Amino acid sequence: MANVAFDNVSSLVGEEVGVSDWVEISQDRVNQFADATGDHQWIHVDVERATREIGTPIAHGYLTLSLIPMLGSGMLNVEGVTRGINYGCNKVRFTNMVPVGSKVRMRQKLLSCEPKAGGLQLTNECKIEIDGQERPACVAETISIIYN
């Protein structure tokens, strides 16, 4: 975990700020996401059919994307932050399927730090890797604003 004072966050631009622990993508997690979003496509939730037709069920791309806050928590400890907000994404690409039962982790790199709305706007590259696979599951450029 990188620790930095609020006024020194920009010193980390261009640096990898952390790598998360591995998290298993269980069928239960996929089913809960399907229920929360209404996306019950068979490749995600019909274990028998997905196993027969594509080898295994796969996680939703947006489930993978939604893991970014959890995987990134604690990666960059900015002293003096009173609150932070998600501001959006510049781009998101789903570059590989996440088979149910696999493990994922995230690498986060700080791309930019700019003053914004009385705080600092941080742009991060978030790569979600799949254990044992060369190509990441997701590469997203996320934007947040932190305040002190």
Residue 42 domain flag? no
What dihedral do alpha carbons 44, 48, 52, 58 form, nearest 10°?
20
Task: Please state the pTM of the whole predicted model.
Answer: 0.91
Residue 85 domain flag? yes
What are the tens digits of pLDDT across the range 22-79? Answer: 999 999 999 999 999 999 999 999 999 999 999 999 999 999 999 999 999 888 888 9
Range of the structural domain that residue 141 is part of: 2-25+58-147
Q: How far apart are CA 55 and CA 63, in angstroms?
A: 20
Question: Which helix (H) or strand (E) element contains residue 143?
Answer: strand 138-147
Confidence of residue 1 (pLDDT cuts 50, 70, 90): low
12, two tokens: 């980390």
| CATH at residue 85 | 3.10.129.10
Between 2 and 57, the higher pLDDT residue: 57
Q: Over range 110-133, report the average pLDDT.
A: 96
Cα 7 to Cα 15, 79, 120, 146, distances in angstroms:
16, 9, 9, 11
